[in-house]
Amino acid sequence: MRSQEFGAGLIAQNQSSLAPFRLSRPTSVDDAVALVAAEPETVVAAGCTDLVAQLREGRAPRSMVHLSRIPELREITHRGGRLSLGPTATLDQTATAHAVVDAVPGLARACARIATVRVRRTATVGGNLLARRFRYEMPVLLSALDAELEFAGGPGTTMEELWREDAGEGRACGAWEPQGLLTGVSVRTAGLVWFGYERSMRPTTTVALAVRRRSDGALTVRAVAGSEYRRPYTMTWRTGVAALAEAEPAQIGGALAAQLPDRIADYCGSAPYRRHLVGVLTARLLTAASAATTPGVQDT
């Protein structure tokens, strides 16, 4: 048994009781921003799937701002070549929203495969990102799509910034200081040719892959390798072809995998093994992309 803060008394080690905290439920983004600014140490909550785990691990917040009553933070739209995901939109909403299905069907399919139905209907896009846990999959998906994070009252930032404090491999994710309240995630859909996700080798390795058309008409492949135990790594390859049918999947997959550093090694495999997996999964995705974008060819 142990004592909790604020005079909550004694509780069992299973964390079945919580220390008292101040709960605010703002109804506008401006109110939420003001609350967070007034008390920077406050916990921002949405779906709470990750937060509950943290509470069970001993986290004891003094105040919490819950975003469930701000409808604009749940919106998902596609306008002007930009897909915008509200940070409190659930993974299930992301998987089923018409805007996502129409603009980036591969993202909708990928979100529909994350975790379980129960988790998908509760977990949010923003929570999955800002939890900064290596095993979560939205950072892998949205990094491949080169998404931008939008903050109220501050500049936007890239997905790569999520891992800014994790230069030393093997470190836990830990806390990250965002630039204000996350208000949206933006994906540029103009020029996006295809997007797909391979998680058949999870937890050892997952790969999300986006193919975009450059201004010169040729294609660029951006892939992100994820793992249960290491942060996502981004790889990019500028091809000299204008159609995926002209590309060599195995060659491109090998070239992308070769960019991975030795520190990609984890508890499940050495660096050479994980590079091999990334090469195989990337080639598989490119083969599927070629079939999906070549007239008269069926994607199996």
pLDDT digits (tens, 9 = 90+) for 234-243: 999 999 999 9
Instruction: Say which range, 55-59, 120-124, 172-176, has the weakest mean pLDDT.
Output: 172-176
Q: 165 falls in which pLDDT band (50, 70, 90)?
A: low
Instruction: Say which range, 121-135, 155-169, 254-268, has the weakest mean pLDDT.
Output: 155-169
Span 246-296, pLDDT tens digits: 999 999 999 999 999 999 999 899 999 999 999 999 999 999 999 998 875
Give yes or no on whether 75-188 and 193-293 have one common fold: no
Give the start-to-end residue ranges of the domains of the chain.
75-188, 193-293
Of residues 86 and 3, more confidence is placed in: 86
Mean per-residue pLDDT, 80-104 = 98
Residue by residue, DSSP assigns the chain as -EEPGGG--EE-TT--S----EEE--SSHHHHHHHHHH-TTPEEESS-HHHHHHHHTT---SEEEE-TT-GGGG-EEEETTEEEE-TT-BHHHHHH-HHHHHH-HHHHHHHTTSS-HHHHTT-BHHHHHHT--TT-SHHHHHHHTT-EEEETTS--EEGGGGGTT--STT--------SS-EEEEEEE-TTEEEEEEEEEETTTEEEEEEEEE-TTS-EEEEEEEE-SSS--EEEEEE-S-SSGGGS-HHHHHHHHHTTS-GGG-BTTB-HHHHHHHHHHHHHHHHHHHHHHHSTT----
pLDDT of 150 strictly over 80: yes
**Arithmetic mean of pLDDT over the chain:** 88
Mean per-residue pLDDT, 139-143 = 97
pLDDT at residue 296, as a whole number: 55
Domain 75-188 of CATH type 3.20.20.70: no
pLDDT at residue 300, as a whole number: 36
Helix 249-257 vs helix 271-293: angle between axes, to the nearest 10 degrees?
Answer: 140
pTM, full prediction: 0.89
First-last CA distance in the chain: 57
CATH number of 193-293: 3.30.390
